Chain A
């Protein structure tokens, strides 16, 4: 426990439960994050299955409307705060020290705390389902006054969000400190791998936005229990004020979800194109521009609340601007592949799939940004389709690709390529069958967050549900593949991929418990 005994204990680290509970090792913590995230992915996914089962046919079949709303709300919270964000923090933990030649994260004890805040927080969130009144049911956006009406489950949700928020803030502080302070000699900022760059900028977004969410939900809590009137018009407050504060967090949040996935894709595509990333500098600036713009577009989620005309115009223009830096990224990836020497191992399939599907979601985002048209799209399944394309097609495919890409480095074994390809194709097909029809549903007039719908929406809903079941089942292949790879399999070489570049590929596979005790020198 103390530094004096440290010398004897280096190579045989503690085992059993305490190894995981007390660890300060970035690789252990990364593993913990990744498993936590996958568990949450299953839980959130099963909730999505309940949603899709209820929507399989018109009429109320399985759940009552209130429970349906709880499912929608908790599905989203679990997926975003439990699955998507921790997945990338896990990747950051594993990879950033390896990629910049650092012995560990800058603040290892804080790192352990960032992770171990999550299980209690998730417990609170899930427990809310079982308390009187049930879980939060006002949507993941927890708009008042509806969320003021809810029972004590809402308080569970708020406190869970507080804890997850602390976790994210601490995790990002650590990531910033690691990147700024722990780089190997010669690793200047403009040589950082893109994944590290995107995480640096993401961490900055997290440190600045999550506290704003904390402020918003704190006011919600005092409105609920301590007699304040922030969001109550009879006391001079305004429910829309909550929406402004929430989305000031919420919009940067969606880039928090996507930027690290952009980073992953920027690692994978050059590797399997055997060609350096096209336009590195512009990639860095595009990422920074996206981050900056993300702070001034929030009210595009609120075009129908009755803002003044100038406000709507401002937020429309600023939102449209985001297409520019994003397009730079898309074009750079395509140019990276151009005249490369391409192979299509599973990670590359995921990267290509990500670029393709994310762009579909990006385009529907652009359509949503057009205020007059958004008056029709808003709060319909068109929005649901949009964000599942960017989130599932972008964030989740990015994370899955990253796991295939680095799994050989983590475990020392190659995953099963056949299973990987099956997983990819079934996931991509399932995801499109699930979410593409939702565009049509939204355009035809189906509102979101409803447990039952009019008859003209029946067909596409059934297709969507079938796709969702396929999508869910396909993830079992992923689980099997990962478990098999951990157990054994073809030995992976240190470089793993023919086109690998970067420090993480210079250490053995599996990466030893301690790496870069003496920093490498980067030319």
Chain B
């Protein structure tokens, strides 16, 4: 770095952001068309997605390269940390909106609806519920189940094991972090590998759970407000686990390639933070969606 810039690393002009936005634009446009039954929609989405994939690989690759070449000092590192920290805060608030919806529907809306007798005769304040007109929704996509019926997923079966898996993965990623800080490369790779495996297992189990819900339980996105909150919360969480797992896999790959040093490995830490966040959300989900 030249002295002119001081010690803070200031990147040269970059084309990645503009390309990212174009990709996102295509993705959004395609998504809109898909939702409104325009057959070209998916093609736009695929194009946008490919652009995004390309950018992610290149942009992150560039940053990783700069980091490996030692261009970042501790102040740059701190900027990255703050960036990641506040990003996670914003993610927390995103989930808060859905948790808020869950609490509101369950504690307020459903009881109130059951009180308006003259509009919804016979509707009772129970949870889970498909709502006052529930039967009309259920059965549309779930054929196996008798009309008006659906079952929710008990907490102590598969969801419980998923909780165990995710909590364990939080521990394994921490062990991997210790190993990195101690300089045990092999130990690092093994424990990080286990974490990625646990994440994938979680996703696999979650997918079977969804399939079970849709084909056998009659529980779908359309199953009244219960189905809506259930799938929205677990779905967005699942999406985050997917992103987290992919990120950890990339980090694993970089570890194998020999990236990171004992005291300079922010990318690893960022991925770990994200993973802990995803875990914490799951604990909230387990308690409020499944147990209570």
Nearest-neighbor residue (CB-CB) of A155 within chain B = B32
Q: Which residue in B21, B96, B97, B231 is a CB contact (below 8 Å) of A113?
A: B21
The interface-forming segment of A187-195, A231-239, A498-506 is A231-239
Contact call B79/A169, Cβ cutoff below 8 A: no
Contact call B91/A211, Cβ cutoff below 8 A: yes
The secondary structure that dominates the B interface is helix
Contact call A236/B82, Cβ cutoff below 8 A: no
Contact call B228/A21, Cβ cutoff below 8 A: no
Nearest-neighbor residue (CB-CB) of B55 within chain A = A113
B148 at the A interface (CB under 8 A): no
Q: Which residue in B17, B66, B95, B134 is a CB contact (below 8 Å) of A235?
A: B134
Interface residues as binary, B63-79 with A (CB distance below 8 Å gives 1, 0 otherwise): 00010010100010011
Contact call B131/A215, Cβ cutoff below 8 A: no
Chain A contacts of B133 at CB under 8 A?
234-235
Q: How far is the CB of A134 from chain B (nearest CB, A)?
A: 13
Q: How far is the CB of A142 from chain B (nearest CB, A)?
A: 15
A163 at the B interface (CB under 8 A): yes
Q: Which residue in B22, B35, B95, B104 is a CB contact (below 8 Å) of A244?
A: B104
Contact call A237/B22, Cβ cutoff below 8 A: no
Nearest-neighbor residue (CB-CB) of B17 within chain A = A113
- Known contacts A106-B83, A235-B131; A215/B21 CB under 8 A: no
Q: Given the complex of chains A and B, what is the CA–CA distance between A2 and B20 in angstroms?
A: 19
Q: Which residue in A9, A103, A181 is a CB contact (below 8 Å) of B6?
A: A103
Q: Given the complex of chains A and B, what is the CA–CA distance between A453 and B17 in angstroms?
A: 48
Contact call A236/B21, Cβ cutoff below 8 A: no
The interface-forming segment of A117-125, A277-285, A470-478 is A117-125
Q: Given the complex of chains A and B, what is the CA–CA distance between A412 and B91 in angstroms?
A: 42
Q: Which residue in A178, A226, A516 is a CB contact (below 8 Å) of B221?
A: A226
B100 at the A interface (CB under 8 A): yes
Q: How far is the CB of B186 from chain A (nearest CB, A)?
A: 32
Contact call A238/B109, Cβ cutoff below 8 A: yes
A484 at the B interface (CB under 8 A): no
User: Chain B contact residues (Cβ within 8 angstroms of A): what range?
Assistant: 35 or more
Interface residues as binary, B82-121 with A (CB distance below 8 Å gives 1, 0 otherwise): 1100110111111111101100110011101100000000
Interface residues as binary, A295-307 with B (CB distance below 8 Å gives 1, 0 otherwise): 0000000000000
Chain A contacts of B108 at CB under 8 A?
238
Nearest-neighbor residue (CB-CB) of A249 within chain B = B97
Chain B contacts of A178 at CB under 8 A?
79
Q: Given the complex of chains A and B, what is the CA–CA distance between A229 and B132 in angstroms?
A: 11
The interface-forming segment of B23-31, B168-176, B263-271 is B23-31
Q: Given the complex of chains A and B, what is the CA–CA distance between A216 and B21 in angstroms?
A: 23
List residues 8-37 of chain A with CB under 8 A from any CB of chain B: 9-10, 13-14, 18-19, 21-24
B195 at the A interface (CB under 8 A): no
The interface-forming segment of B8-16, B205-213, B242-250, B251-259 is B8-16
Q: Given the complex of chains A and B, what is the CA–CA distance between A102 and B75 in angstroms?
A: 12
Chain A contacts of B32 at CB under 8 A?
152, 155-156, 159
Contact call B97/A214, Cβ cutoff below 8 A: yes
Chain B contacts of A155 at CB under 8 A?
32, 35-36
Q: Given the complex of chains A and B, what is the CA–CA distance between A226 and B223 in angstroms?
A: 11
Contact call A24/B89, Cβ cutoff below 8 A: no
Chain A contacts of B16 at CB under 8 A?
109, 113
Contact call A234/B2, Cβ cutoff below 8 A: no
Contact call A237/B225, Cβ cutoff below 8 A: yes
Chain B contacts of A214 at CB under 8 A?
94, 97
Nearest-neighbor residue (CB-CB) of A518 within chain B = B6
A418 at the B interface (CB under 8 A): no
Contact call B11/A176, Cβ cutoff below 8 A: no
Q: Given the complex of chains A and B, what is the CA–CA distance between A3 and B231 in angstroms?
A: 46
Q: How far is the CB of B267 from chain A (nearest CB, A)?
A: 15
User: Chain A contact residues (Cβ within 8 angstroms of B): what range?
Assistant: 35 or more
Q: Which residue in A22, A103, A159 is a CB contact (below 8 Å) of B8?
A: A103
Chain B contacts of A240 at CB under 8 A?
109
Chain A contacts of B112 at CB under 8 A?
238
Q: Given the complex of chains A and B, what is the CA–CA distance between A516 and B29 in angstroms?
A: 42
Contact call B10/A120, Cβ cutoff below 8 A: no
Contact call A208/B90, Cβ cutoff below 8 A: yes
Contact call A182/B8, Cβ cutoff below 8 A: yes
Q: How far is the CB of B38 from chain A (nearest CB, A)?
A: 9
Contact call A235/B228, Cβ cutoff below 8 A: yes
Q: Which residue in A23, A228, A233 is a CB contact (below 8 Å) of B113?
A: A233
B227 at the A interface (CB under 8 A): yes
Q: Given the complex of chains A and B, what is the CA–CA distance between A155 and B35 in angstroms?
A: 9
Nearest-neighbor residue (CB-CB) of A516 within chain B = B6
Q: How far is the CB of A124 from chain B (nearest CB, A)?
A: 6
Chain A contacts of B104 at CB under 8 A?
238, 241, 244
Contact call B36/A241, Cβ cutoff below 8 A: no
Q: Given the complex of chains A and B, what is the CA–CA distance between A211 and B91 in angstroms?
A: 7
Q: How far is the CB of B237 from chain A (nearest CB, A)?
A: 13
Binding site for A on B (CB under 8 A): 1-6, 8-18, 20-22, 24-25, 28-29, 31-32, 35-36, 59, 66, 69, 71, 75, 78-80, 82-83, 86-87, 89-98, 100-101, 104-105, 108-110, 112-113, 129-134, 136-137, 220-222, 224-229, 231-232
8 nearest CB pairs, A to B? A215-B97, A236-B131, A113-B17, A227-B222, A228-B228, A236-B225, A238-B109, A22-B13
23 A–B pairs (Cβ distance < 8 Å), ordered by A: A2-B12, A3-B9, A3-B11, A6-B1, A14-B13, A21-B15, A107-B80, A107-B83, A112-B17, A112-B18, A116-B17, A159-B31, A159-B32, A173-B86, A181-B78, A211-B96, A215-B100, A234-B133, A235-B130, A237-B105, A237-B131, A241-B109, A517-B6
Binding site for B on A (CB under 8 A): 1-3, 5-7, 9-10, 13-14, 18-19, 21-24, 102-104, 106-110, 112-113, 116-117, 119-120, 123-124, 152, 155-156, 159, 162-163, 169, 172-174, 176-178, 180-182, 207-212, 214-216, 218-219, 221-222, 224-230, 232-238, 240-241, 244-245, 248, 514, 516-519
Given A173-B87, A237-B105: 19 more A-B contacts, CB < 8 Å: A3-B12, A24-B10, A103-B10, A106-B79, A107-B80, A112-B18, A163-B28, A211-B90, A212-B97, A228-B228, A228-B231, A229-B228, A230-B225, A230-B228, A235-B134, A237-B228, A238-B104, A241-B105, A517-B3
